[in-house]
């Protein structure tokens, strides 16, 4: 029963967001009909569009899982972007060296280094929070910018391709590439991998002891600590896992789509994925369809630019309104949960908890 | 017809007599919250220059009556007359202007600010937009000196003040509004015996100033010690009114709960053995660079209920946290067969003991032994079994809920307490540490908790009862320690009385 | 060279400092505003657009302030009245600003190669004082916004710590339930704080497009809003500490130009990354939130 009202809420939020944007478009003198038709066609108009929607959804899926996991622990990981870049960089750096490896091993290797690299990037923020009491909101955002600069430097410098003609890295070995199916579509195993990880995350959160401890810490860190849960260590582990998830996403993107590193990588997936995570109410299983929805928006936005002359960043506006509406609905629906997000009476340093983002 | 007129005139004459002789008269106060009748035609009156105790169990309506008197809650019907004038406007601001002010239980002090800054939020004269703390200090002294109340040093932040200082500060702030009626809601629950006497003296001074002091309390002995009149509420009704000199504790207790209370006066020896379960040996611990436990030692034997008495803030929280495993000692050891099997019921149940946002059954899993039981070798939780276990325990401990899936937040205070106790006992510990677990519970609920602890000890377990309530400690505990500044001292048999223990609690020996 | 370094330091510090002072007020009221970036961006864009179409810098400044306040008012509705999660709400504002400014920018100006420019705010020289060695340029030959900022520092310090209203502000941030019980309107206090902060962020954003550069590029705020968050922490919730921390970050950004001019051959990405890395390092050393307002970040709903 609860799940259905939650689903309805999410759908209404998306619909309302589109409605609001419609009015805005009218104000700008753009035709909403053209815009939304272009969006829809771009997203689902033909087979290629559909596969591209899935392709665009993939990084959102990985980042969404990353964020959902961290948010369940009340760790505000705004750094999925940076962690994804870290994973991509590792993949792009190691990829060219894997030419003699057999295909399955090469793919495992490239994804593996991406995972570790993302875990490291997330773990840094986790350590800073656990040991130095540095807000992970700030540190992860700072790490985002840092990762972006690192990438730029790397492709202009040490990782630059041998001819030194363009700022991009050498291509990864073909054995490390993720195969594309149904050419010219770019459908690859990445989405499937993401879906499997989603199931894994769900199981982890709700069926394992560590997952339980993570959720307990996220809802009441004091009580969790009182009962022997090692919250500091758990913080680092959670941020590491979160970073790892985003990191695989980066590696998958390199291995399947771009095959090399360029100056820029993410158009803001890490921030968009926050909307994904919220619409899914932090439930890993629901992140899959939520990611597809937002992937459709992203995909359609390109077409929308061509047909309607509206900048693709319009999707950011839609995403923003989705978040705002979700937050509003949750707040109104749970008036009796007075300290929504605070959870406990005001204590020193009472950090916000994510509890009303979750299904209840 | 005539008889009706006669009784009507009797009522009228009594009413006018009441108003003439009393400063505060509340008549027929009724308040309903949804289906619950919180106050049922309650009458209350107090004369100027008197201390009036308002007693009753939790839920009897004391807080609601106070809220009505101070305007926080609007009564459904009834009148309030102050100094002969009926009060028509009963908004909080109007009540304050009329001269009714209250000090409530939940602290309303800003920790990081100085005490002078806190007093700015009072009735002292305003000095414009700039803060003039020196003026505040002077005015505060004007109130405190006649009451023989010492003020903290200049600019001291609240964090440095003791508990009794804070209570007094809140009273001074309330007095800054120059109230004629001062209501104190359970002010003494945090005070030790020595401070209590000073506090009661202050009340007597206030009485001497011609005010009405309404003392809301459930501590009968205090009420008898200081009040002139006592009003007893039960189930939303005023059941009786007595003059303090004409009644005694058992009579009041009986009026309060409606029947003779089960008097638990002395600990039982069944199950008591000479076998030590838990040894705390010269424990030292620091927190926030303060030494919170100092060379603390105690011992619990099988079948024994050991008490730790002390004023809040002398290390009790840290002792409990240490035994829970939440903090680690910097010196000393915790030893004994029970060292690994301790279940702790923390004082701050909602903050430390429960995760309100999680379902009941997951709250039970917080206890480490239970987690071990329901977690398999790969770290996987057997949800079905854990849920069933929780449901069983709910039934066994009288927690009536639709299912184990409901969030702990949805439970009443009493049920939350039962949940923590059920969890503690279900994890089959060797020693239970109970810190202030009966605070806020009514007579019957308290008796139930005491019964469970005793039967647990009788069955061969050990209990460490940390409490500020000496009655509870005397009734249950075989041996008693006093904690003061993080140090434990055992109370010898000849010192087992409130006066001596009171002195030990305030640091004298 | 030192004087141009100092001049740049102060110039770079101003937008951060403006936003940080606003955030200081907001955090003292108990709210964390992650959306500073969005407000600054809105201020930057709408300020430039208004100045461009009207030809008036004053109008531009006004528009910047209004736009940023509007963003903060949306945030206030969410955070104060609906008591939602403050981090997520702030992120939504950032996304909203990013999207709105991008869409409107391209709609109004198209994707041309030409940048939209206005004449920047002129420098205001204080005559002979501007000729003082070392500090002359830095302190007395800047544009008026810089002077305004410097004046605001002691004003904010006095307001928060020494006035009655500052006390009310701090009460709302430390223990909102008690503040409410004592007769303060916590909702109104937080709303006002967010509106003031909006004005400050708007000014900061306007500085970016009307003084520092004279054009707009998408994402011009460049993370300064987040640096402002860090500055409040590093400055230990004191106006002068915040000023000092802002100077530190201003220096880090200014270092880029100075070292390049000095001929150091270091990758430019290092300099671009420096403020962000520095933020992390300083926060790690200075430790965390021990002196933050008691109820910071905890949503508060009046019962």
CB atoms under 10 Å from CB of A263, counted, come to 14
Whether A339 contacts chain C with CB within 8 A = yes
Q: What was the pLDDT predicted at B313?
A: 78
**Nearest chain B Cα distance for residue C186, angstroms:** 14
Q: Which residue has the higher pLDDT, C219 or A220?
A: A220
Residue B8: inside a domain = no
Cβ atoms of B65 and B39 closer than 8 Å: yes
**Nearest chain A Cα distance for residue B374, angstroms:** 9
Residue B179: inside a domain = yes
Facing residue for B129 by CB, picked from C163, C175, C177: C163
Domain end marker among B406, B427, B448:
B427
Strand partners, B293: B285
Which chains reach chain A with 3 or more Cβ–Cβ distances below 8 angstroms?
A: B, C
Domain end marker among B388, B411, B427:
B427
Claim to verify: residue B49 and residue B195 sit in the same structural domain: yes
Whether A227 contacts chain B with CB within 8 A = yes
Task: Give the pairing type, strands B77-82 and B85-86.
Answer: antiparallel
What's the pLDDT tens digit per position in B66-111?
Answer: 999 998 888 899 989 888 888 888 888 888 888 899 998 877 899 8
Spacing of C-alpha A172 from chain mean position: 24
Q: How many residues does chain B have?
A: 509
Residue C130: inside a domain = no
CA triple B243-B244-B249, angle to 5 deg:
125
Q: What was the pLDDT predicted at C120?
A: 78
Q: b/e map of A207-245 (b: 16 or more CB within 10 Å)? A: bbbbbbbbbbbbbbbbbbbbbebebeebbbbbbbbbbbb
Q: What was the pLDDT predicted at A339?
A: 33
Answer whether C267 sits within 8 Å of A156, measured CB to CB.
Answer: yes
Interface test with chain B among C182, C287, C290, by most B beta carbons within 10 Å: C182
Claim to verify: residue B272 and residue B253 sit in the same structural domain: no
Whether B131 contacts chain C with CB within 8 A = yes
Task: Report, as an integer, the average pLDDT of A239-263.
Answer: 94
Residue C198: inside a domain = yes
Both tokens of A303, joined, read: 């077409």
Whether C129 contacts chain A with CB within 8 A = no
Is the pLDDT score of A355 beyond 60? no
Answer whether A207 sits within 8 Å of B350, measured CB to CB.
Answer: no
Is the pLDDT score of A359 beyond 80? no
Both tokens of A82, joined, read: 């940076």
**Nearest chain C Cα distance for residue B200, angstroms:** 26
Is the pLDDT score of B175 beyond 60? yes
Strand partners, B306: B464, B479
- Tokens 């815009």 correspond to what residue? A35
CB < 8 Å to C170, chain B: 110, 112-113
Residue B143: inside a domain = yes
Residue B355: inside a domain = no
Q: What was the pLDDT predicted at A2?
A: 52
CATH number reported for the structural domain that contains residue C152 in this entry = 1.10.3470.10
- Domain residue ranges in chain A: 2-357
Whether B94 contacts chain C with CB within 8 A = no
How crowded is the C-beta side of B256, counted as CA atoms within 13 Å?
26
Task: Report, as an integer, the average pLDDT of C223-230.
Answer: 89
Beta strand segments in B187-243, E: 212-217, 229-234, 237-243
Facing residue for C294 by CB, picked from B106, B107, B111: B111
In degrees and rounded to multiples of 5, residue A284 shows phi and psi of: -55, -40
Cβ atoms of C253 and C274 closer than 8 Å: yes
Which chains reach chain C with 3 or more Cβ–Cβ distances below 8 angstroms?
A: A, B
Q: What was the pLDDT predicted at A346?
A: 31
Cβ atoms of B283 and B444 closer than 8 Å: no
Q: Which residue has the higher pLDDT, B379 or B386?
A: B386
Q: What was the pLDDT predicted at B137?
A: 92
- Give the list of residues 6+ apart from residue B305 with CB closer than 8 angstroms, or none: B267, B453, B454, B457, B462, B463, B465, B476, B477, B478
Domain count, chain B: 3
Model confidence at A288, pLDDT cuts 50, 70, 90, reads: very high
Is the pLDDT score of B384 beyond 60? yes
Domain residues for the domain of B37 are: 21-257
Is the pLDDT score of A348 beyond 60? no
Cβ atoms of B80 and B156 closer than 8 Å: no
How crowded is the C-beta side of A49, counted as CA atoms within 13 Å?
18
Whole-number mean pLDDT of chain B?
Answer: 86
CB < 8 Å to B424, chain A: none
* Residue B292, helix vs strand vs coil: strand
Distance CA A302, CA A298 (A): 7
CATH topology of domain A2-357: ABC transporter involved in vitamin B12 uptake, BtuC (1.10.3470)
Q: What was the pLDDT predicted at B25?
A: 86
Answer whether B379 sits within 8 Å of A210, measured CB to CB.
Answer: yes
Distance CA C212, CA C120 (A): 8
Answer whether C84 sits within 8 Å of A331, measured CB to CB.
Answer: yes
What's the pLDDT tens digit per position in C275-288?
Answer: 889 888 988 887 66
What's the pLDDT tens digit per position in C203-218?
Answer: 999 999 888 888 888 7
- Give the list of residues 6+ apart from residue B483 with CB closer than 8 angstroms, or none: B296, B308, B309, B310, B314, B315, B316, B319, B466
Longest CA–CA span in chain B (Å) reads 87
CB < 8 Å to B371, chain A: 209, 212
CA dihedral in degrees (B193, B197, B203, B208; nearest 10)? 170
What's the pLDDT tens digit per position in B222-270?
Answer: 899 999 999 999 888 999 999 988 988 888 888 887 776 666 667 777 7
Q: What was the pLDDT predicted at C105?
A: 87
Claim to verify: residue B296 and residue B190 sit in the same structural domain: no
Q: What was the pLDDT predicted at A342?
A: 35
Distance CA B496, CA B500 (A): 7
Whether C160 contacts chain B with CB within 8 A = no
Claim to verify: residue B45 and residue B100 sit in the same structural domain: yes
Q: Which residue has the higher pLDDT, A239 or B351?
A: A239
Distance CA B193, CA B211 (A): 25
- Give the list of residues 6+ apart from residue B97 with CB closer than 8 angstroms, or none: none
Residue B215: inside a domain = yes
Answer whether C167 sits within 8 Å of B131, measured CB to CB.
Answer: yes
Listing DSSP states for chain C in one string gives -HHHHHHHHHHHHHHHHHHHHHHHHHHHTT---TTHHHHHHHHHHHHHHHHHHH--HHHHHHHHHHHHHHHHHHHHIIIIIS---HHHHHHHHHHHHHHHHHHHHHHHH-S-SSPPB-PPPPPEE-GGGGGSTTHHHHHHEE-HHHHHHHHHHHHHHHHHHHBHHHHHHHHHHH-HHHHHHTT--HHHHHHHHHHHHHHHHHHHHHHIIIIISSB--TTTTTTHHHHHHHHHHHTTT-HHHHHHHHHHHHHHHHHHHHHHHTT----HHHHHHHHHHHHHHHHHHH--STTS-TTTT------
Claim to verify: residue B124 and residue B230 sit in the same structural domain: yes
Spacing of C-alpha B441 from chain mean position: 9
**Nearest chain C Cα distance for residue B451, angstroms:** 37
Start-to-end Cα distance in chain A: 10
Is the pLDDT score of C52 beyond 60? yes
Model confidence at A350, pLDDT cuts 50, 70, 90, reads: very low
- Give the list of residues 6+ apart from residue C23 with CB closer than 8 angstroms, or none: C33, C36, C197, C228, C229, C232
Q: What was the pLDDT predicted at A277?
A: 93
Claim to verify: residue B131 and residue B184 sit in the same structural domain: yes
Listing DSSP states for A307-359 in one string gives HH---TTHHHHHHHHHHHHHHHHHHHHTTTSTTTTT-SS--TT-----GGGS-
Q: Model's pTM, two decimal places? A: 0.86
Cβ atoms of B158 and B167 closer than 8 Å: no
Distance CA B410, CA B155 (A): 42
Q: What was the pLDDT predicted at A353?
A: 56
Which chains reach chain B with 3 or more Cβ–Cβ distances below 8 angstroms?
A: A, C
Q: Which residue has the higher pLDDT, A19 or C111?
A: A19
- For chain A positions 132-171, those within 8 Å of chain C (CB to CB) are 132-135, 137-139, 141-143, 145-146, 149-150, 152-153, 156-157
Claim to verify: residue B250 and residue B269 sit in the same structural domain: no
Report which listed range, A12-21, B288-297, B370-379, C64-73, is most confident. C64-73
Answer whether C177 sits within 8 Å of B106, measured CB to CB.
Answer: yes
CB < 8 Å to B126, chain C: 164
Facing residue for B112 by CB, picked from C174, C177, C183: C174
Cβ atoms of C224 and C19 closer than 8 Å: yes
Domain end marker among B378, B408, B427:
B427
What's the pLDDT tens digit per position in A95-112?
Answer: 898 888 888 899 999 999
Is the pLDDT score of C172 beyond 50? yes
Claim to verify: residue B368 and residue B330 sit in the same structural domain: no
- Give the list of residues 6+ apart from residue A153 with CB closer than 8 angstroms, or none: C267, C269, C270
Is the pLDDT score of A347 beyond 60? no
**Nearest chain A Cα distance for residue C196, angstroms:** 22
Percent of chain A beyond pLDDT 90?
48
In degrees and rounded to multiples of 5, residue C157 shows phi and psi of: -60, -45
Is the pLDDT score of A345 beyond 60? no
**Nearest chain B Cα distance for residue A69, angstroms:** 17
CB < 8 Å to A237, chain B: none
Model confidence at A269, pLDDT cuts 50, 70, 90, reads: very high
Distance CA B487, CA B380 (A): 42
Whole-number mean pLDDT of chain C?
Answer: 87
What's the pLDDT tens digit per position in A184-208?
Answer: 788 888 999 999 999 999 999 999 9
Beta strand segments in B119-266, E: 181-185, 212-217, 229-234, 237-243
Q: Which residue has the higher pLDDT, C78 or A163?
A: C78
Considering only alpha carbons, which residue of chain B is nearest residue C158? B130
Cβ atoms of C23 and C265 closer than 8 Å: no
Answer whether C164 sits within 8 Å of B113, measured CB to CB.
Answer: no
Answer whether A352 sits within 8 Å of C86, measured CB to CB.
Answer: yes
CB < 8 Å to C96, chain A: 316-317, 320-321, 324
CB atoms under 10 Å from CB of B351, counted, come to 18
Report which listed range, A46-55, A301-310, C151-160, is most confident. C151-160
Whether B129 contacts chain C with CB within 8 A = yes
Residue B386: inside a domain = yes
Task: Write the ipTM.
Answer: 0.88
Residue C59: inside a domain = yes
- Give the list of residues 6+ apart from residue C221 with CB closer than 8 angstroms, or none: C37, C40, C41, C44, C205, C208
CB < 8 Å to A316, chain C: 95-96, 98-99, 102
Distance CA B166, CA B105 (A): 12
**Nearest chain C Cα distance for residue A133, angstroms:** 5
Q: How many residues does chain C have?
A: 303
In degrees and rounded to multiples of 5, residue B368 shows phi and psi of: -55, -45
Answer whether C99 sits within 8 Å of A133, measured CB to CB.
Answer: no
- Tokens 């941020």 correspond to what residue? A239
Is the pLDDT score of B385 beyond 80? yes
What's the pLDDT tens digit per position in B470-491?
Answer: 888 888 999 999 998 889 999 8
Cα four-point dihedral sign B22, B25, B28, B29: negative
Answer whether C178 sits within 8 Å of B126, measured CB to CB.
Answer: no
CA triple B123-B186-B481, angle to 5 deg:
130
Is the pLDDT score of C273 beyond 70? yes
Task: Report, as an integer, the average pLDDT of B279-293.
Answer: 84
Cβ atoms of A218 and A68 closer than 8 Å: no
Residue B1: inside a domain = no
Interface test with chain A among C100, C269, C290, by most A beta carbons within 10 Å: C269
Poorest-pLDDT segment among A96-105, A284-293, B397-406? B397-406
Claim to verify: residue B332 and residue B298 sit in the same structural domain: yes
For chain B, the 3-state helix, strand and coil shares in percent, each to the nearest 5, are 40, 25, 35
Task: Report, as an integer, the average pLDDT of C291-303.
Answer: 78
Is the pLDDT score of B285 beyond 50? yes
Facing residue for A346 by CB, picked from C279, C289, C294: C294
Q: What was the pLDDT predicted at A360?
A: 35
Percent of chain C beyond pLDDT 70?
93
Q: What was the pLDDT predicted at B264?
A: 61
Facing residue for B346 by CB, picked from A207, A226, A345: A226
Cβ atoms of C249 and C279 closer than 8 Å: yes
Residue B6: inside a domain = no
Whether A343 contacts chain B with CB within 8 A = yes
What's the pLDDT tens digit per position in A297-321?
Answer: 888 887 777 777 778 788 889 889 9
Domain residues for the domain of C26 are: 2-120+136-286
């Amino acid at each position: 029963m609860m799940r259905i009202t939650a689903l309805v809420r999410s759908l209404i939020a998306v619909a309302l967001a589109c409605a609001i944007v419609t009015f805005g478009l009218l104000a700008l003198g753009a035709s909403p009909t053209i815009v939304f038709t272009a969006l829809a066609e771009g997203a689902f108009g033909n087979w290629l569009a559909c596969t591209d929607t899935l392709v665009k959804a993939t990084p959102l899926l990985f980042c969404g899982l990353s964020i959902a996991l961290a948010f369940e622990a009340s760790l505000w990981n705004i750094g999925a972007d940076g962690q994804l870049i870290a994973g991509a960089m590792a993949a792009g750096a190691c990829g060219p060296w894997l030419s003699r490896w057999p295909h399955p091993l090469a793919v495992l290797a490239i994804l593996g280094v991406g995972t570790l690299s993302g875990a490291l990037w997330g773990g840094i923020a986790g350590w800073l929070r656990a040991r130095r009491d540095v807000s992970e909101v700030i540190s992860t955002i700072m790490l985002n910018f840092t990762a972006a600069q690192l990438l730029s430097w790397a492709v202009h410098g040490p990782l630059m391709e041998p001819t030194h003609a363009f700022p991009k890295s050498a291509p990864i070995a073909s054995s490390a590439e993720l195969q594309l199916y149904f050419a010219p579509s770019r459908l690859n195993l990445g989405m499937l991998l993401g879906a499997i990880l989603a199931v894994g995350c769900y199981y982890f959160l709700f069926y394992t002891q560590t997952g339980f401890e993570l959720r307990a810490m996220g809802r009441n860190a004091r009580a969790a600590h009182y009962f022997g849960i090692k919250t500091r260590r758990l913080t680092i582990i959670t941020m590491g896992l979160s970073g790892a998830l985003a990191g695989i996403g980066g590696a998958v993107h390199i291995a399947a789509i771009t095959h090399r590193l360029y100056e820029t990588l993410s158009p803001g997936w890490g921030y968009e994925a926050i909307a994904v995570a919220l619409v899914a109410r932090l439930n890993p299983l629901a992140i899959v369809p939520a990611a597809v929805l937002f992937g459709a928006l992203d995909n359609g936005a390109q077409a929308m630019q061509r047909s309607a002359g509206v900048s693709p960043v319009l999707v950011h506006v839609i995403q923003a309104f989705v978040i705002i509406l979700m937050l509003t609905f949750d707040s109104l629906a749970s008036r009796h949960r007075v300290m929504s997000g605070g959870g406990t009476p005001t204590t020193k340093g009472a950090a916000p908890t994510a509890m009303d983002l979750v299904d209840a | 017809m005539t008889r009706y007129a006669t009784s009507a005139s009797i009522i009228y004459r009594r009413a006018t007599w009441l108003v003439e002789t009393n400063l505060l008269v509340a008549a027929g106060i009724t308040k309903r919250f949804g289906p619950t009748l919180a106050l049922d035609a309650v009458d209350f009156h107090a004369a100027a220059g008197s201390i009036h105790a308002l007693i009753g169990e939790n839920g009897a309506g004391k807080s609601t009556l106070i809220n009505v008197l101070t305007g926080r809650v609007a009564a459904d019907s009834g009148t309030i007359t102050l100094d002969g004038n009926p009060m028509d406007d009963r908004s909080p601001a109007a009540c304050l202007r009329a001269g009714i002010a209250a000090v409530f239980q939940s602290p309303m002090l800003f920790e990081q600010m100085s005490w002078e800054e806190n007093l700015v939020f009072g009735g002292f004269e305003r000095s414009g937009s700039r803060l003039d703390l020196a003026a505040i200090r002077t005015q505060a002294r004007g109130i405190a000196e006649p009451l023989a109340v010492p003020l903290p040093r200049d600019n001291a932040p609240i964090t440095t003040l003791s508990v009794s200082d804070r209570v007094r500060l809140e009273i001074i702030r309330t007095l800054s509004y120059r109230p004629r009626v001062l209501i104190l809601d359970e002010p003494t629950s945090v005070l030790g015996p020595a401070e209590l006497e000073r506090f009661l003296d202050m009340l007597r001074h206030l009485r001497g100033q011609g005010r009405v002091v309404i003392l809301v309390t459930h501590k009968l002995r205090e009420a008898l010690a200081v009040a002139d009149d006592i009003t007893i509420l039960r189930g939303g009704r005023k059941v009786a009114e007595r003059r303090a000199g004409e009644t005694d504790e058992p009579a009041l207790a009986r009026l309060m709960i409606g029947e003779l209370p089960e008097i638990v006066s002395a600990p039982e020896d069944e199950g008591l053995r000479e076998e030590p379960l838990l040894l705390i040996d010269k424990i030292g611990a620091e927190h926030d660079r303060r030494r919170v436990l100092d060379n603390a030692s105690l011992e619990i034997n099988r079948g024994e209920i050991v008490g730790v008495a002390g004023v809040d803030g002398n290390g009790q929280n840290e002792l409990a946290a240490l035994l829970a495993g939440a903090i680690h000692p910097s010196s000393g050891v915790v030893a004994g067969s029970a060292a690994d099997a301790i279940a702790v019921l923390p004082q701050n149940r909602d903050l430390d003991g429960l995760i309100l946002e999680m379902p009941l059954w997951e709250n039970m899993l917080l206890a480490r032994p239970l987690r071990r039981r329901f977690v398999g070798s790969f770290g996987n939780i057997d949800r079905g079994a854990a849920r069933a276990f929780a449901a069983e325990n709910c039934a066994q401990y009288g927690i009536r809920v639709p299912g184990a899936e409901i969030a702990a937040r949805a439970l009443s205070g009493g049920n939350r307490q039962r949940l923590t106790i059920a969890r503690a006992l279900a994890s089959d510990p060797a020693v239970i540490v109970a810190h202030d677990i009966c605070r806020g519970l009514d007579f019957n609920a308290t008796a139930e908790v005491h019964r469970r602890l005793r039967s647990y000890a009788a069955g061969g377990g050990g209990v460490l009862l940390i409490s500020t309530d000496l009655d509870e400690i005397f009734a249950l505990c075989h041996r008693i320690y006093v904690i003061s500044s993080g140090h434990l001292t055992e109370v010898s048999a000849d010192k087992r009385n409130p006066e001596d223990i009171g002195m030990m609690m305030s640091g004298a020996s | 060279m030192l004087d141009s370094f100092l001049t740049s330091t102060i110039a770079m510090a101003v937008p951060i400092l403006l936003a940080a002072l606003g955030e200081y007020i907001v955090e003292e009221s108990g709210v964390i505003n992650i959306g500073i970036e969005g407000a600054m961006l809105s201020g930057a864009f709408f300020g430039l657009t208004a100045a461009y179409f009207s030809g008036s810098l004053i109008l531009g400044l006004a528009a910047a302030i209004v736009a940023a306040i509007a963003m903060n008012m949306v945030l206030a509705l969410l955070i104060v009245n609906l008591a939602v999660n403050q981090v997520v709400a702030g992120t939504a504002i950032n996304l909203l600003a990013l999207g709105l400014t991008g869409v409107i920018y391209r709609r109004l100006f198209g994707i041309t190669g030409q940048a939209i420019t206005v004449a920047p705010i002129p420098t205001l020289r204080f005559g002979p004082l501007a000729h003082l060695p070392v500090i002359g340029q830095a302190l007395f030959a800047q544009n008026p916004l810089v002077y305004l900022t410097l004046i605001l520092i002691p004003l904010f310090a006095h307001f928060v710590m020494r006035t009655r209203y500052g006390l009310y502000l701090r009460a709302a941030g430390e223990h909102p339930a008690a503040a409410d019980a004592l007769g303060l309107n916590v909702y109104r206090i937080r709303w006002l704080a967010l509106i003031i902060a909006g004005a400050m962020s708007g000014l900061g954003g306007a500085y970016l497009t009307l003084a520092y550069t004279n054009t707009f590029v998408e994402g011009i705020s460049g993370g300064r809003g987040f640096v402002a968050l860090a500055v409040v922490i590093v400055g230990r919730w004191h106006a002068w500490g915040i000023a000092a921390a802002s100077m530190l970050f201003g220096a880090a950004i200014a270092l880029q130009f100075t070292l390049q001019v000095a001929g150091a051959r270091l990758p430019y990405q290092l300099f671009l990354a420096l403020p962000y890395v520095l933020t992390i390092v300083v926060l790690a050393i200075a430790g965390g939130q021990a002196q933050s307002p008691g109820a910071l970040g905890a949503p508060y709903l009046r019962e």
